[in-house]
A and B are shown apart, each in its own frame.
Chain A
Amino acid sequence: EPEVTQTPSHQVTQMGQEVILRCVPISNHLYFYWYRQILGQKVEFLVSFYNNEISEKSEIFDDQFSVERPDGSNFTLKIRSTKLEDSAMYFCASSGRIDRLQYFGPGTRLLVL
């Protein structure tokens, strides 16, 4: 069964450093998303991406964040200058054109020290 994959599974970084989180969505999906979950809190929407551009973003997704689909398979989230409060689990998800089901990847656990 097709699945969304994410790398790395864990990342530790120093405050102020740039990180890139990578995702490979399900191959025939056209919509891509990033969510985050701070430990012990609910899952929050960050951004959705379709047709090579951002279609929707939340207040959390400020200028420190960017997304890119550099090739036909990868979808990345970049945090330019990490802050302590960026420590969270980051989930990538994808969905098809008609089916509104979003399939989530296993997540990347980011720890900012």
Chain B
Amino acid sequence: AQTVTQSQPEMSVQEAETVTLSCTYDTSESNYYLFWYKQPPSRQMILVIRQEAYKQQNATENRFSVNFQKAAKSFSLKISDSQLGDTAMYFCAFLRGGATNKLIFGTGTLLAVQP
């Protein structure tokens, strides 16, 4: 069974600084997708970034980028130039390729951006 582990329950960063959130996963599959979702205090789930396992290039979306290490089964999220609005819970999620559409979430990292 696939599992997703986020080992940092809470993190803090100063505004304008860079922070990296860790995520590791366990799977025997070769075809899968990885996601980072953001959940602000409103509790809405917002997609931040996606990575397909077959792509070697790390995904980037503006200030958000990932470091995807397939052999190590690691998928970290880097937030550059942190803003107060980045304060949220961040969830790493795994989706196996093929017929299933079941997203498997990690336990989340609560990020606080300090002014």
B11 contacts the other chain (Cβ, under 8 Å)?
Answer: no
A73 contacts the other chain (Cβ, under 8 Å)?
Answer: no
Question: Roughly how many angstroms separate A105 CA and B99 CA in the complex, as a whole number?
Answer: 23
Contact at B33–A100, with CB atoms within 8 Å?
A: yes
Q: Determine the chain B residues whose CB is within 8 A of the CB of A104 once the complex forms.
A: 37, 44-47
Residue in B43, B46, B101, B105 whose beta carbon sits within 8 Å of that of A100 in the complex: B101
Most buried by B among A41, A89, A93, A100: A100
A55 contacts the other chain (Cβ, under 8 Å)?
Answer: yes
Chain A at the B interface: SS class: strand
A44 contacts the other chain (Cβ, under 8 Å)?
Answer: yes
Q: Mark B17-52, 1 if CB is under 8 A from A, else 0.
A: 000000000000000010001000011111100100
Chain B at the A interface: SS class: loop
Question: Roughly how many angstroms separate A95 CA and B101 CA in the complex, as a whole number?
Answer: 9
Contact sample, A vs B, 17 pairs, CB 8 Å cutoff: A33-B101, A42-B106, A42-B108, A43-B93, A43-B105, A48-B101, A91-B45, A93-B45, A100-B33, A100-B101, A101-B47, A101-B50, A104-B45, A105-B44, A106-B42, A106-B44, A107-B44
Binding site for A on B (CB under 8 A): 33, 37, 42-47, 50, 91, 93, 95, 99-108
Binding site for B on A (CB under 8 A): 31, 33, 35, 37, 41-45, 48, 55-56, 58, 89, 91, 93, 95, 100-107, 109
